[in-house]
Amino acid sequence: MKFLDLAKVYIRSGGGGAGCISFRREKFIEYGGPDGGDGGGGGSVYAEAVDGLNTLIDFRYQQHFFAKSGQPGMGRQRTGKDGDDIVLKVPVGTEILDEDQETVIADLTEVGMRVELARGGNGGWGNLHFKSSTNQAPRRANPGQEGVERTLWLRLKLIADVGLLGLPNAGKSTFLAATSNARPKIADYPFTTLHPNLGVVGVDNVEFVVADIPGLIEGAHEGRGIGDRFLGHVERCAVLLHLVDGTSEDVAADYNTIIGELEAYGGELADKPRLTVLNKIDALDEEQRAEAAAALEEASGGPVMQMSGVARDGVTDVLRALRSRIDADRLRRKPETEDTEWRP
């Protein structure tokens, strides 16, 4: 399934049915009076967060959603049928934005959350409603209320516990493949990852979700590269895992590049808890490893862990460090019948 995290939709609620002008026509009933029924209400348009979806690809092939209008009222005091509602089923974590792409209408962060996007029009009153002691044969009925037409944007921000950050080829996809059942594309050239990948990672009988996004480069906040398009997917994460390529000529510069882009992106992303890890240590000797770790600790101003996703060295320690930084209510206990925990 192709990944899509932004979609434009056009919605319209149904209009209300018109009221009816009608009079009783029975042969032996004198002064029968009005009996026009009301029009039916128009259908509304809703959005609902459902389980089992992680992309907006369905909205690439259908962008227009029009609810049914209500039926007009009829004689013999019969009310018209209400129009059917339309429900847009979206993944959990979907933001609904107005046409300006800035005003947030709703943020569906839990399964089952539903929001009304466009309310259907009310049905018009039939002439029976206008009968009075001074007007016993009204020839008046109300038209139905028109529906609401809107243009909206759907923006998906994946719900994950850990977000992977780093320059291209920092080893993010290798880490995800080594610790979960996810199978992201892995190659020895930059920008191998073109869209986010999710993986469920298990350690010490608990599970949490890790999101891998395309690598960031300098100037990403200005639109360079593709990673800036997906930074929104790690905004909801509890902790960020910053992987730094240990084979780089300047690990401190690589670290500062990513931190600079996070700060330039704005919001609370730069203030989120981060775990800094020196990756690809299997390609370094003891002296090179110590030198790179010292430079990275000086740049980050804190402790640095070491790991090799390929050799699976230090991966368990990194997973346990991530687990300790995630709130207990976000962790999921693994079923005892399943054994999917990664082991070296």
Task: Give the separation between CA 33 and CA 36, rounded to whole angstroms.
Answer: 10
115 is in an annotated binding site: no
Q: Which pLDDT belongs to residue 80?
A: 95
Instruction: Specify whether the CB–CB gap between 141 and 77 falls below 8 A.
Output: no
Q: Do the annotations mark residue 117 as ligand-binding?
A: no
> What contacts 343, CB < 8 A, 6 or more positions away?
none
Whether 36 has a binding-site annotation, put simply, is: no
Beta strands of 109-169 (E only): which ranges?
114-118, 149-156, 162-165
171 annotated as ligand-binding:
yes
> Is residue 2 a known part of a binding site?
no
Site of tokens 């000797």: 285
Residue 340 has what pLDDT? 45
Q: Could you tell me the two tokens for 297? A: 């600790």
Amino acid, res. 166:
G
- Residue 227 confidence (pLDDT): 52
Domain ranges of the chain: 1-156, 162-333
What φ, ψ does residue 123 adopt, rounded to 5°? -75, 150
**280 annotated to bind ligand:** yes
Q: Residue 271: which residues within 8 A CB-CB, separation 6 or more?
A: none
213 is in an annotated binding site: yes
- Region 162-333: CATH code: 3.40.50.300
* Sequence-separated (6 or more) residues with CB below 8 Å from residue 159: 92, 93, 109, 209, 236
Question: Long-range pairs for 325-333 at CB < 8 Å and ≥24 separation?
Answer: 325/238, 325/239, 325/273, 325/275, 326/161, 326/162, 326/208, 326/238, 326/239, 327/238, 330/161, 330/208, 330/238, 331/161, 331/206, 331/207, 331/208, 332/206, 332/207, 332/208, 333/205, 333/206, 333/207
- Residue 136's Cβ-count burial label (10 Å; 0-12, 13-18, 19+) is exposed
Q: Is 251 annotated as a binding residue?
A: no
pLDDT, position 222: 55
167 is in an annotated binding site: yes
> pTM value?
0.76
pLDDT of the residue at 127: 93
279 assigned to a ligand binding site: yes
| 144 annotated to a ligand binding site | no
pLDDT at site 344: 47
Write the DSSP symbol of residue 302.
Answer: S
pLDDT at 190: 61
Nearest Cα residue to 251 out of 279, 218, 285: 279
Backbone angles phi, psi at 242, to 5 degrees: -100, 110
- 199 annotated ligand binder: no
273 annotated as ligand-binding: no
Confirm if 158 and 164 have CB atoms less than 8 A apart: no
3-state class of 87 per DSSP?
strand
- Tell whether residue 191 is among the known ligand binding residues: yes
**CA proximity to 239, closest of 332, 326, 331:** 326
Residue whose tokens read 């930059």: 190
Residues in CB range of 337: below 8 A, 6 or more apart: none
> Which residue numbers in the chain have pLDDT < 70?
1-2, 185, 187-195, 215, 217-229, 267, 329-344
Distance of CA 116 to the CA centre of its chain: 17
Q: Do domains 1-156 and 162-333 have the same CATH topology?
A: no
Q: Is 3 annotated as a binding residue?
A: no
Query: To the nearest 10°, the Cα dihedral for 230, 231, 236, 242?
Result: 120
Residues 305 and 291: their CA atoms lie apart, in Å, by 13
Instruction: Tell whether residue 250 is among the known ligand binding residues.
Output: no
Kindly provide the b/e burial profile for residues 208-218, where b requires at least 16 CB atoms within 10 angstroms of the residue's own CB.
Answer: bbbbbbbbbbb
Is 335 marked as a binding-site residue?
no
User: Does 29 count as an annotated binding residue?
Assistant: no
pLDDT of 337 reads 47
CATH number of 1-156: 2.70.210.12
- Quick one: 102 exposed, middle or buried, by C-beta within 10 A (0-12, 13-18, 19+)? exposed
Burial 279-298 (b: 16+ CB within 10 A, else e): bbbbebeeeebeebbebbbe
